[in-house]
Amino acid sequence: GRAKVSMPGGCAIGDRPVDIHLRGLRELGAQIRLENGYIVAEAHKGLAGKDIFLGGPFGSTVLGTANVLMAATLAKGQTVIESAACEPEIADLANCLNKMGAKITGIGSPRLIIEGVRQLQPTEFRVIPDRIEAGTFMVAAAITAGQLRLEHCRLDGMMAVVDRLRNIGVTIDSAGDGCVVARSGPIRPADITTQPFPGFPTDLQAQFMALLALGEGNSVIIEKIFPDRFMHVAELNRMAANLRKEGPVVIIAGVKKLMGAAVMASDLRASAALVLAGLAAEGVTTVNRVYHIDRGYERIEERLNPVGAKISRESI
């Protein structure tokens, strides 16, 4: 087969190399080259199973694991992926592939074993809920001192998030297949370090920064997955936050209130953080470049307005 895709783009969160993805596919027998800004991969003789180490300087690669896992299901022989990502989304993908006829064991662990099969079959499969969207709505309840009931929210994949929220002063109680999130007291300061799963997810770093900007004291956030993922710091400071960036660390001195301002979204999760900050700020906040947020949240204003938010989308 043959595939041709453009080099990575998307959110402005710093360097996003795909070298581990490509290394894994090369180990399986793909021939890969760069051609006019595109990555071209070919495997005219098919792929063959192999033992592959997918660790990188900042830990495991989630999408790299997904790409190699999918390719290995149809490779000849056995593939062993060491240092595989353990995120719930990878386990869910593996379960889906198994339902389609793949033979994958070690699901949920950093060692996946795949026995190649000749073909996969169509199936119906319900994917797990989006834990990052759920975490964003949890912060929405916390930053506004409100209460939200979240349905289809699996807390077992969000223990690091729940731990930090409870430490900050937010109550989270299981309710059916979801939970009830509320805050009535002050926002306590907290220290957060992003890590691969089951650690604190980098995709909730910006949202928690907005929350801690209103904390009673000093907080520290250390970004260990994407050390340059701090484009939202300057925008939150425009809203009267008191944030100081020092390399991969942001020191947060809590303020009593945020002020509405015109801000610019730089990436998907920063967009959500600015919306959350706007919910808690005095006055009107205008978030520009909201096309970023639409890639991860389906009409977020239609989800938040029914529970008390005042968000309107305007074309400029």
Which residues participate in catalysis according to the annotation? 11
Cα(34)–Cα(133) distance, integer angstroms: 35
* Strand residue runs (E) in 199-307: 218-222, 243-246, 249-253, 262-264, 286-288
For residue 40, what is the enclosing H or E element? Answer: strand 38-42
Cα(277)–Cα(41) distance, integer angstroms: 43
Per the rule left: phi > 0, alpha: psi between -120 and 50, beta: everything else, 10 is: left
Whole-number Cα distances in Å, 95 to 128, 154, 197, 212, 272: 11, 17, 18, 37, 30
Q: Are 120 and 99 a contacting pair, CB within 8 Å?
A: no
Cβ neighbours, 10 Å, residue 200: 25
Indicate the pairing of strand 51-53 with strand 78-82.
Answer: parallel
Cβ neighbours, 10 Å, residue 82: 13
Q: Are 114 and 98 a contacting pair, CB within 8 Å?
A: no
Could you identify the residue written with the tokens 């800004």?
37
